[in-house]
Each structure stands twice: as structure tokens, then as C-alpha cells.
A and B are shown apart, each in its own frame.
Chain A
């Protein structure tokens, strides 16, 4: 902007100077002799020569300094996680085809170049693209993937017939962070520019490009004649160099002085730089379309914008279309004026044929092809706005906004696009059906969801609301709501951390309680079913989410201890020590809740939730890597027992819909949460690999008419039915021992009707219950104790299935 202003001011100054000069000349001319006229003319000539030279010198300086110092602003490119193809990976042929489609691979009958794939009966063959990852460049390879029963059976590198164990596909581009002046650009180095593009530009735009010195007098003449006589293809007199100058240095106004500048600068440019340098700059600079508020500049960007593919993968007809846009990107916009674009493309192809760049057969073949413009740019920033919002916030901690927008950074994220799509679709469907069922007006319910990978803390999917508007409120990060019963596992974990006093069977009182609040008022909570359950075992109190039992337990433990546990689980926010905290008067965002449950799910190891894995500069040079950070903040054994309690919530507690709707996936674990007047409906749940937190509610804070079970949980199940989480594995920690229980009392280990619970070895309860159907005749308790201990050792090697069977008493 400033550059242009300065330029205009200078021009004005120059013209003012010359006017003053002329008027002086007129005044001095009256009453003088002819010799003095001659002298004056000479003087004027010298002055204008000097001025002209100075002007040219100045233009020359501009041309060289700006051309050489030109650094294009490149938007940052944000990528999803790459798909890892490995032997044994669960992915079907059709699913992989979908991935190829989203990466804009072309389905072809026979493979010729990168970015193509071919489906066969039980396999897919493809040629991958070169791609620079943080750790290395993945070279283009010709690969065959064989499938068997929905899994990858083998991966063969066809170039050397080697069997591969793993192959990494390039990731999907999911967004860009644009420069302030809204330019989009993908730089293409000259050696990667298709020859056909250069030929087409020369053939159509500037036939004498390699012979002229910046301007083409013959060309201008020919264009004039051609335009008058043919009325067909409109030819311009500007050379490519002039067009470049126009785009590069000058304003768009059509004035005579600009034309003069254009001509001088074109000649100067040619004097200083080679044809290849000029062509390269032209290819990366020229304006070829508009994407919302953003200009599409250069052929690399245009290839991505119109075909979602790299420039070097385009066919001749596709290149011809891009060349067609040079003359009028808006007039020939193929998305709006397909007919016009097609016509012009074919004119270009026939021109190429006339000039001998294409055989008649090839030209005809290319002309017969449809336009095949990609529907919507895959990196359209509206696609994953909530996730990109989190990426941007995490990036801003380490990078200046300027660098993010201009330096062409390449940002590798953790997003799993398949998961993200599943979550988004599930949100749409479930919210609409809930609104109908609860007679809420359409569009009132809102949702937020975070899905993470448990051990590594990577955010796999994130939904900030049901509308995919990029300016929408990002509820996953910014909706700070009371979490209700989601807080309870922290209370029970605090209890289980005191193994000498509490275990899963410990009885706690579910009886009315009156507590003084911070404002002096009495707080008298009630159970959701308004009943009083008396003495209940710890595991029942959590799985049934009894409020009174939890408050009594929490007060016994001490609020400060519960707060400490919450911090250990990863809540960084300040937590007020009020009794109502025990029932979830704590306000958190879905993301914060996810962090808390992450620690529970991963056995007490806290991993900060991450969206960014690596950052590369525009040339693919590694800049930053955000590795795994992990610390143990809660001891494994207490978390192990809490996890076990949470699995009971899913099998027979408030989240038993999981057992009903996903019986084959058990055990899974989780906790429902509901707040006063059914304002918020929460569910946080996990399997062995994936954690999902869901919030449903309304922006106006009115009742959603949903409990955690009837709302968020149902959506969670919808999602997980597609994500298929691994059932929880209970790999028993060192000091934990399983023992059988019946009616909340420990019984002999051979009791068939009993259910196993984990206990801290040192505080294993005594056998106090009796079993009706003992199989083993030997009644010696001591011997049985010994047997259990032996079994414990064997447990270390037992399969997950064994544990599931035992845990759920399936024999």
C-alpha cells in the first residue's frame, strides 16, 4: 500500500516539475532572438535528457532492488496427521480410496505419475507424491497395498519389489493462515514448472518471448491486426515481461504514463535478468482468481485452487485452462462460467496445435476432456474452524503473528480427519433428533466435543459447535460451564489414594447433609432421584452418581485434598474450596475436562493436550518439534482402581446405555454429568486408546432438558460406534491384587457368582462374605488365599479377554 502511494506521489512531483519548466520557457521566450531560442531548446533538451536519465536510473534502481529483494508473503499451511499404512492396520480398500480422493489422487486405469491410484480386486496400487516431513523426505514410490478382511495384508514397493512394514502417505492440507493483504500463493521452483505451461504461455501470450528485449513491436502490430480481422481469440500486445512488470511494480490504472513506465521497466528487467528468471517470476506472480477475499496468485496456487493438485501433476488440458485464466480470471472463472472457460481452453489447445506444440491427436484428446474442476478447495478455512482455532492459539505462544501469516510455515497437526468428520456428522444428527424429542425449537441446542488419543494427548478431533462458521463461538475452548458430576471421579480417586482407609467396597453414607456455603447460607443437596440410599459401597455411589454419598465422602476427605487431586489431574485453573465443588459447581471448558480425564484414562500420567506436532519452514527445513511431554502426577494404583470404578458406570451405572448399545466393545469407562435445571449435559468416556468428552447445552443458558445420560452420552455412543475404541485393558500394576466380591463383601476366589475388584495388595480386605455355589470343596481359607496370590502372578500374563470375563463375571 505505502509503496504504491509513494510511487504515485513521485509521479505527480515529476509531472509538476516538467510543467513549471515549460511555463518558464514560454515566459522567457517573448522578445528574444532566434539564437537564444536555440540555446533555450538546447538547454531544455539537456535538462529533459538529464531528467529522463535520472528517471530511468531511478526506475532501474526500483526494478533491480524490488525484483531481487522481493519476498512473497506465503501463508502458513496447516496439515492433518498423515495416514500411516502398515501391515495389520484396520482399513478397507474403500476407506483407502476415500483417503486418496481427499488427497486429490486421480483414479486411473494405469499408473503414470505421482498422485494417481488404481483399484484392483483385493488391492490398490498408487504412486505417492514426494513430501517433506519433519524427519525426512518421503520420496515418491509406486506402491501396492493388498487387503484381507478389512485389514492391510501387505505393502509392496513396486520399484524394487521390497516388502514394506509401514508407509506414510502425505497429509491432507486442512487450512492456511493468510497474510494480512489476503494473498494466497504456492511457490513453484522453476525446475518443477511443467514444460507445457511455459510453452503455452509463450504460444498464447508472447510468441517472441525468447527473442524480444522486453517489448515486442511486431507482436503489438500482429495483435492489432489479429484483433481487427479475426474477432476470435483476443490477443494483447503486452509481452510476458510487460505483464509481469504490470503485476509486480505498477498499479492497475490504465494511463499513458503507466504504459510508458511499463515499457521502460520491461526493457530494464530484460537487461538485468535471464528469460528463465523472468518466466519463473511471472508463473508465481500472475493473478489467476479470487477465493473469497483472497487473491489467487501464481500457477502453483491456481493448480491447488482449481484442481486441488500440485502443478506438476496437471494434464495438458488442465494447464491450458489455467493459461486461459491469464486473460481474465473472473471472466473465465471455470466454477462460474464453465462454458466460457471450456471454449477458451480449447482455443488455447488448438493454438498450441497450430504452433506445433501438440499433435492433432493430442490436441483433440485434450479438447474432448471435461473441465473437472474440484468442487471446493480442500483447505478451505471453513472446514475445521474449531480445530484450527486451537492450533492458532497454541502457535501464538511461540510464533509472532507476522511470521505465521507470511513465512510459509508448514504446520503438522494431530487432526484425524476421519474422526473429525464422524464427530461432526454425529453432532448434526443427534442434536436434531434430541431437539425433536425434547420439543426444543430447532437450532437451540449446542454441542462441543473433544476426542484425544489417550497415551499421547493428541487432539484427534474437535468440534466447537454445530454450525461450521469460522467466526462461531468455539465452545470446546471457550464455553466455561459447571461440570456437574464429572467432578466426582476426583473425589473417589482422592479416597482410593488413602488405601488404608478406602477401597471399592468401603461403605459411605448416602444421607442428607447441610453445609454452610461461602455466603453463609445452608447448602442441602439432594440425590437426583430424591431418595436416600443409606450406606452404600464406594463403587455403587460412583456408578449410580449419588450426590449425598459423594458430598459426605468429600467432606470426610477434606475439600483441600479433592482440590489437590483435581490439580494433579491437570486442572490449572483456580478451584474454590466450597462444598458444592463436590457436586461439580466447578466451571470448566470441554478442553479442560478432557485434560482431567486424560490423566485418569492414562493411568495417572499427565500429558498436555497437543494439536501441533511439528513446524517446518517454507523450504521444508525443520524448525520446531512439539514432542511428547509426560509426567506422572497421580499414582498408578489409585487411578487403576478409579478407572475400574468408571467402567462400572458404563456397564451398570448411569452410563449403562453403553453396555446396551455397544455390548461388543466393553469394558469402556466414563462418567455422566448433569447440572441444575438440566442446563448442561456432559459425558466424558474412554476406551483403551481414545477419550471423548461431550458437552451439550444452550448458549442462552436455558434448560437443555437433557441429563448427561439422555444427551451427551447418547452422542458419545453414536461417535464411538464409528470410532470403535479398543476395550479397556486392565494391566494390573505391581501392588494391585484382584479379589472376588459378592454383595460388597470379599468372598472366596472360587465363587462363581462373585465379581472381581482390584485392591491395594497391602490392604486387601478379609474374606467376610459367603458364597452359595462354591465349587471347590476344600474350605481352607489359607490355602485359597495362597491360590489367589498365585493367580495374581499369572494375571500379569493373562489376556485382556480373561480379565474382561472375570471382571464382568462371564465364565
Chain B
């Protein structure tokens, strides 16, 4: 019983961590295929046995997450800032991940929008919604949602960068070279700012 609980805590932590850190992962090669990557990353937690409901254990310990995933500094910082957003938003992000894993994009979107009803200015929820639309190849919507996320993302550089990556990819898909070029410039800016 104890063991299952521990696994559950660990997996929950990993799931959240990876979801939030994913936006931080930003090598060019990764970014060329972020749609697949997202699914693959979250997909690795498919058999964690998590229920499809918004329940998280409040006694989640960041240490456990770190020791399991052993992130580099950048990831570490980003995960901490994301975790400090709010447990409610995290719960919905996790919920959405579970639906995405199950291939149920509609419910993932519904869950994120439910989160936005409670926290309408949470940039993580808007960002996650943008990537969901990107997966659905709803390019224009993905761009708007990423911009919306950026409107509330000041101070979260990795998140902003990820939003620009979404914009870049969706703009490319739309044939909007100018839009993609501008987005790439922003990505570069955030990359250099970091170093």
C-alpha cells in the first residue's frame, strides 16, 4: 500500500515536472518535432495507474522529483517556478496530460478550460492549451493561445520561449514566413538571454 502510494507520488511529480519542463527543453532538433515529443514525453507515464481525476497528493516533495529525474539547472529553476504557480493549475495540467495520453484531446482541452475558469491568467494553462491546438493542427488558434500565454508569462522566460516556439511552428505550417522569422528571432533572444 505504502509502495503504491510512493510510486504514485513519484509518478505524479515526474509527470508534472516533465510537462512543465518540456516547455523548457529547447534544442532546435527537439523543436522541429515538438508535437510528437510532447506525446512521447508524457506517454512514458502511461502506466502509472493514475486516475483520470483532479486529485493530487498535497504532500508532493520536490526533492523526490529532482532525484528521480536529475534535471540540469535550467530545468530545475523552471520546474520550481511552475510548481509555485498553484496546485489547482497543476492539477488541471496533469488531468489534461492524462487525457492526452489516452488520445482524448477534446477532454484535455475541456480540462484546461476548466482550469482557466478558475485561473484565467495562468500562463501555463494557456501554453498547454496552445500546444494542444498545435497537436490538433489548429495553427491559427495555437498562435493566438501562445500569444495569450505570453501576455501573462512575464518573468517565465522558458515558458515565453516555448510559446514562441509554438508560434514559430504554427506560422511555418501556415506559410507565414514573416511570422515564423519573428518568432525565431524571439526564441534566439530568449536563448541568448539565458546564457
What are the interface flags for A1-23 relative to B under an 8 Å C-beta threshold, 1 for contact and 0 otherwise?
00000000000000000000000
B116 A165 Cβ-Cβ under 8 A: no
A88-B88 contact given A689-B120, A797-B155, CB 8 Å threshold: yes
Q: How does the 8 Å CB contact mask read for A497-538 relative to B, with 1 for contact and 0 for none?
A: 000000000000000000000000000000000000000000
Contacts of A796 on B, CB cut-off 8 Å?
154-155
In the complex where A163-B58, A165-B87 touch, is A625 in contact with B110 (Cβ < 8 A)? yes
Given A165-B87, A627-B110, A605 and B148 touching (CB < 8 A)? yes
Chain B residues whose CB sits within 8 angstroms of the CB of A625 once the complex forms: 106, 110
Chain B contact residues, majority secondary structure? helix
Contact B91 A165 (CB under 8 A): yes
Q: How distant is the Cα of A636 from the Cα of B140 in the complex, in angstroms?
A: 17
The one of A86, A157, A631 in contact with B140, judged by C-beta atoms closer than 8 angstroms, is A631
Give Cα A134 to B114, complex, Å.
11
How far is B59's CA from A796's CA once the two chains are assembled, in angstroms? 31
Known: A88-B88, A628-B113, A631-B144. A454 touches B120 (CB 8 A): yes
- Give A636's nearest chain B residue, CB to CB: B151
A733 B151 Cβ-Cβ under 8 A: yes
Instruction: Identify the stretch in B18-26, B35-43, B48-56 within 8 Å (CB) of chain A at 4 or more residues.
Output: B48-56
- A166 interface residue, CB < 8 Å from B? yes
Chain A residues with CB under 8 A of B155: 796-797
Chain B residues with CB under 8 Å of A136's CB are 52-53, 107
How far apart are A756's CB and chain B's nearest CB, in angstroms? 17
Whether the Cβ atoms of B154 and A731 lie closer than 8 Å is: yes
Residues of A close to B116: CB separation below 8 A: 455-456, 628
Residue on A with the closest CB to B147? A632
Q: Could you tell me if B88 and A87 are in contact, using CB atoms closer than 8 angstroms?
A: yes
In the complex the two chains form, what is the Cα distance from A605 to B88 in whole Å?
24
Given A164-B55, A605-B148, 17 more A-B residue pairs with CB atoms under 8 Å apart are A84-B117, A86-B118, A87-B58, A135-B110, A136-B52, A162-B57, A166-B54, A455-B116, A455-B121, A458-B117, A605-B151, A614-B110, A625-B110, A630-B148, A632-B144, A731-B151, A797-B155
State A455–B114 Cα separation when bound (angstroms). 12
**In the complex, chain B residues whose CB is within 8 Å of the CB of A689:** 120
Indicate if the CB atoms of A453 and B117 lie closer than 8 Å. Answer: yes
Residues of A within 8 A of B147 (CB): 605, 632, 636
- B120 and A456 within 8 A (CB): yes
Within the complex, the shortest CB–CB distance from A45 to chain B, in Å, comes to 69
User: Could you tell me the distance between the alpha carbons of A458 and B118 in the complex, rounded to whole angstroms?
Assistant: 12
Collect the chain B residues with CB atoms within 8 Å of residue A603's CB: 151
Is A599 part of the binding interface, using a Cβ–Cβ cutoff of 8 Å? Answer: no
State the CA gap A163–B12 with chains docked (Å): 14
Given A453-B117, A689-B120, answer yes or no on A166-B109 (Cβ-Cβ < 8 Å).
no
- Interface 0/1 of A639-650, CB less than 8 Å to B: 000000000000
Find out whether the CB atom of A166 lies under 8 angstroms from the CB atom of B151.
no
| A785 touches B (CB below 8 Å) | no
Query: In the complex, what residue of chain B is closest to A138 when comparing beta carbons?
Result: B53
CB of A165 within 8 A of CB of B56, answer: yes
7 closest Cβ contacts across the A-B interface? A455-B120, A796-B154, A165-B91, A797-B155, A163-B58, A165-B87, A135-B110
Within 8 A of A (CB), among B127-178: 129, 140-141, 144-145, 147-148, 151-152, 154-155
675-703 of chain A: CB within 8 A of chain B = 688-689
Which of B92, B109, B151, B154: most chain A Cβ within 10 A?
A: B151
Given A88-B86, A453-B117, A166 and B91 contact (CB-CB distance below 8 Å)? yes
Query: Would you call A308 an interface residue if the criterion is a C-beta within 8 Å of the partner chain's C-beta atoms?
Result: no
A627 to B107, CA, bound (A): 11
A interface, how many residues as a size bin? 35 or more
Measured between beta carbons, the chain A residues less than 8 angstroms from B92 are 166
B109 (CB) vs chain A CBs: closest residue: A627
Task: Show the binding face of B for A, using Cβ within 8 Å.
Answer: 52-59, 86-88, 90-92, 106-107, 109-111, 113-114, 116-118, 120-121, 129, 140-141, 144-145, 147-148, 151-152, 154-155
Closest A-chain residue to B118, C-beta based? A84
- B97 CB to nearest chain A CB (Å): 14
Residue of A nearest to B151 (CB): A603
- A165, B58: Cβ atoms closer than 8 Å: yes
Q: Shortest beta-carbon distance, A203 to chain B, in Å?
A: 42
On whether the beta carbons of B88 and A86 are closer than 8 Å, the reply is yes
Cα–Cα distance between A799 and B154 once the two chains are bound (Å): 11
Task: Check B88 against A165 for contact (C-beta < 8 Å).
Answer: yes
Q: 8 A-B residue contacts at CB 8 Å?
A: A135-B114, A165-B87, A453-B117, A458-B117, A627-B113, A628-B113, A636-B147, A731-B152
Q: Which residues of B contact A166 (CB under 8 A)?
A: 54, 88, 91-92, 118
A732 within 8 A of B: yes
Cα A254 to Cα B90 in complex, Å, equals 66
Q: Hey, what's the 0/1 contact readout for A110-136 against B, CB within 8 Å counting as 1?
A: 000000000000000000000000111
CB 8 Å contact bits of A588-614 with B (1 = contact, 0 = none): 000000000000000101000000001
Residues of B within 8 A of A733 (CB): 151
Output the least CB separation between A260 and chain B (Å).
Answer: 56
Give chain A nearest CB distance to B191 CB in angstroms: 16
Residue of A nearest to B107 (CB): A135
Instruction: Check A140 for interface membership: any CB of B closer than 8 A.
Output: no
Bitwise interface map of A from 140 to 181 toward B, beta carbon under 8 Å scored 1, else 0 = 000000000000000001000011111000000000000000
B117 — which chain A residues lie within 8 A by C-beta?
A: 81, 84, 453, 456, 458
Residues of A within 8 Å of B148, CB to CB, are: 455, 605, 630, 632
Give the shortest distance, in Å, between B64 (CB) and chain A (any CB): 17
Which A residues touch B52, using CB under 8 A? Answer: 136
In whole angstroms, how far apart are the Cα atoms of A686 and B120 in the complex?
15
- The residue of chain A having its C-beta at the shortest distance from the C-beta of B155 within the complex is A797
CB-CB under 8 A from B107, the residues of chain A are 135-136
Give A596 Cβ to nearest chain B Cβ, in Å.
Answer: 19
A729 in the interface, Cβ–Cβ < 8 Å?
A: yes
Q: Which residue of chain B lies nearest to A86 when distances are taken between CB atoms in the complex? A: B88
Query: What residues of chain B lie closer than 8 Å to A81, measured between beta carbons?
Result: 117
A688 and B120 CA atoms in complex are apart in Å by 10
Q: What are the residues of chain A within 8 A of B57 when measuring CB–CB?
A: 162-163
B140 nearest CB neighbor, chain A only: A631
A630 CA / B55 CA spacing, docked (Å): 29
Across the interface, name the chain B residue whose C-beta is closest to A622: B106
Nearest to A688 among chain B residues (CB) is B121
A490→B108 CA distance, assembly (Å): 37
Q: Which residue of B lies closest to A166 (CB)?
A: B54
Closest residue of B by beta carbon distance from A164 = B55
